[in-house]
Structure 1
Amino acid sequence: MSTDFQQARAALGVRLRELRESAPGGRLTGTGLAQRLGWTQSKVSKLETGRQTATAEDLQMWAEAVGQPESAEELLARLRGLESHIRSWRRQLAAGHRAVQDAHNVAQANSSVLRAWESSWIVGVLQTPDYARAVLTRSAELHQSPRDIEDAVRSRMKRQEGLYESRRRYHILLWEPVLRSLICPASVLAAQLDRLAGVVGMDTVELGIVPLSASLKVPPGIGFWIYDDAQVIVENWHAELWLDDADSVSTHLKVWSALQESAVYGADAQRVISQARQALDIA
């Protein structure tokens, strides 16, 4: 399992390649960019594949060389977030929401077994575009961050490609209030619940719902992801915590297992979702 630093560096490399390939004057080759910058072609390749850490000067030069100087601020914001386990939203969202989505895409793409507990909203990998748009808009309003909502939605939707990869398994637990929280228009929530019902039965997804009536061994607490039983990502109002120490992982695995004992699956999960959908009273 790669570290959060490596994952963020790989996501930065993906973004650098995108900027090179979308240069205003036409697609720029790696060799062509290296010539413009006076670098070796291997340096360009290492930066794009996440095998070398860019400096602030490298990123400023890259943005200028690909004809997109306005992207420098975004690239520098990504660089500042590379080494921190505590990733404050203020720092992460300095250049918008897409960078955060890209980092999660890389983390999930590098994982085979993913476990999630969510008590606040439908997890991103199962969201509809409209639901994702509503959640990201609320976040942008809260943090007063740049409004790159559509780019962020597209990045989040790309994450869902993993649902159709046979090597990957998602074990997702949702608390029932998530199905009823109107953090979006009722019509959007209705479509989201229809989407969620369609996930039940997928061979790559084990979706459990913890009903409000269930007896709980631990308090619901805040949501988290566990990747390959080796890394935990926890989100709160101030920051994301990317944790890979053994104690943190072990504790979150215990919490996830305790919550799983209260979950219902299959037809019973469908029933809980259906009841929430009917409560919206939307055709």
Structure 2
Amino acid sequence: MSTDYQQAREALGVSLRELRFSAPGGRLTGTQLAQRLGAGWTKSKISKVENGKQTLEPEELQQWTNATGQPEAYDGLLAQLRGFNSHIRSWRRQLAAGHRPVQQAIAAEYERSAVVHGFESVTVPGILQTADYARSIFTRYAELQRSRRDTEDAVRARLRRQEMLYDSGKRFKILVGETALRSLICSPSALAAQLDRLAGIIGIDTVQLGVIPFSASLKIPPVGGFWIHDERLVTVETWHAELWIDDAASIATYLRTWNTLRESAVYGADAQNVINAARRALSSR
């Protein structure tokens, strides 16, 4: 979690504490406010919110302003909440309407971008996935997140995004770890088709696809994936949320990370050889 995010959450907590202190009729204790708020509220939760250790949902924020007798404060606090929540987009909230809207939101960022740098260590990047591979990914994540199963709509949305690979005004610089070529997140037949798809990507003038082989010398460990859009936005997926990072210093760090990882990658015929080796190993199973 970024320092800027935590500072913003703590600032919101201070604003909420001030509402409790300035309630019409006199200052409320944490216990008194929890009693006014009703079920699900405790003195402990009040303390966590005010100290920036827990974030309220918009409806809870409205309950707080009403319970402290200052409903007019809601709009300003909601804007404050949305300002920092936009940077940490929980999967629970994002997937409430299914996976397709998430795909559409990130597609809009690809539309805005002229140059996209990407890195994935253990899965094939979404923008290079076949339908069957993507279908397996969405199915497994719907199970994990207990989210709405709109798998086919999500697959179609992901495949539509791939049309941008052939836009002459865009450039995609993508790094993939060899682990992604061998991980059976899908059926062997689906992975075989996916590897064929990756092999076919090499040589497209808008895409620079690099593979980091198991045998490569590494300056840093290739851990979680990330995507950089025109040096204005970085997106990073975690198990609980998707991070949208837009401060210049952090973006610069991710660019340095990408460039360092690139030094371990192979391209062109050498990348083809790594993909083909993974394909042969799959066929021998």
Q: TM over 0.5, yes or no?
A: yes
1:152 corresponds to which letter in structure 2?
A
C-alpha distance in structure 1 between counterparts of 2:231 and 2:146, whole Å: 34
Partner of 1:147: 149
Residue 64 of structure 1 corresponds to which residue in structure 2? none
Aligned with 1:251 (options 245, 250, 253): 253
CA distance in 2, matches of 1:281, 1:81: 50
How far is the alpha carbon of 1:230 from its aligned partner?
Answer: 1.6
Residues 211 and 200 of structure 1: CA distance in aligned 2, closer, same or farther (over 3 Å): same
1:242 equivalent in structure 2: 244
Whether 1:263 and 2:265 are equivalent positions in the alignment is: yes
Tell me how far apart the structure 2 counterparts of residues 168 and 222 of structure 1 sit (CA, whole Å).
24
Secondary structure of 1:206's aligned partner = strand
1:228 to 218, 227, 230: 230
Q: Secondary structure at the match of 1:280?
A: helix
2:216 is equivalent to residue 218 of structure 1: no
Residue 91 of structure 2 is aligned to residue 89 of structure 1: yes
* Distance (whole Å) between structure 2 residues aligned to residue 241 and residue 166 of structure 1: 29
The alignment of Structure 1 onto Structure 2 pairs a total of residues equal to 205
**Residues 66-110 of structure 1: CA deviation (Å, up to 9, x unaligned):** xxxxxxxxxxxxxx8996110011111111101100001100011
- 2:248 and 2:254 mapped to 1: Cα distance? 10
| CA deviations over 1:40-91 (Å, ceiling 9, x no partner) | xxxxxxxxxxxxxxxx9xxxxxxxxxxxxxxxxxxxxxxx899611001111
Unaligned runs of 5+ in 1: 1-55, 57-79
CA RMSD between the two structures: 1.7
Deviation string 1:184-222 (CA, Å, 9 cap, x unpaired) is: 000000000000000000000000000011111111110
- Whether the 8 Å CA contact 1:81–1:87 is kept in 2: the answer is no
Please state whether the residue corresponding to 2:211 is helix, strand or coil.
Answer: strand
| Equivalent in the alignment of 2:280 | 278
Structure number with greater Rg is 2
Question: Helix, strand or coil for the counterpart of 2:243?
Answer: strand
Q: Secondary structure at the match of 2:234?
A: strand
Pick the aligned partner of 1:130 from 132, 138, 148. 132
TM-score by length of 2: 0.70
Paired with 2:251 and 2:98, the residues of 1 have a C-alpha distance of: 29
State the identity %.
61
Q: Distance in 2 between matches of 1:273 and 1:236?
A: 27
Amino acid at match of 2:276: S
Structure 2 runs not aligned, ≥5 long: 1-57, 59-81
1:52 — aligned with what? none
Q: Say which SS state the counterpart of residue 254 (structure 2) adopts.
A: helix
Distance 1:247 1:83 in 2: 19
Output one character per residue of 1:131-170: Cα deviation in whole Å (capped at 9) or x when no partner. 0000111100100101000000000000011011100000
CA contact (8 A) 1:81 1:92 kept: no
Q: Does 1:108 align with 2:110?
A: yes
Give the residue type in structure 2 aligned to 1:252: Y
State whether residues 118 and 173 of structure 1, in contact with CA within 8 Å, keep that contact through their aligned partners in structure 2: yes
For 1:235-280, what per-residue CA distance to the aligned partner results, in whole angstroms no more than 9, with x for missing partners?
Answer: 0111100011011101000100000000000000000000000111
TM-score, scaled relative to structure 1: 0.70
SS in structure 1 at match of 2:283: coil
